[in-house]
Amino acid sequence: GTVEFHHDDKIFEDAQAFAKAHHLPAAISAVLINVDRIYKLDAGPNAGDVIEG
């Protein structure tokens, strides 16, 4: 999928608030990864099939 970096918007502010609430270091950037498809990692005949949903 695609990757989006957020530095100065609502998503970034939410990441900063999450980090502060959980006593984590402040975020430099918030990264959003859009997943297009997921493949099964099962062994056997279904290995590599795309998970629908």
Question: How is residue 8 written in tokens?
Answer: 């100065």
Q: Tell me, what amino acid is at 3?
A: V
pLDDT (tens digit per residue) in 14-49:
999 999 999 999 989 999 999 999 999 999 998 999
3-state helix, strand, coil in the chain (%, to 5): 25, 25, 55
State residue 4 phi and psi, 5-degree precision.
Answer: -125, 130
Report pLDDT for 48.
Answer: 92
* Domain range list for the chain: 3-51
Report pLDDT for 1.
Answer: 86
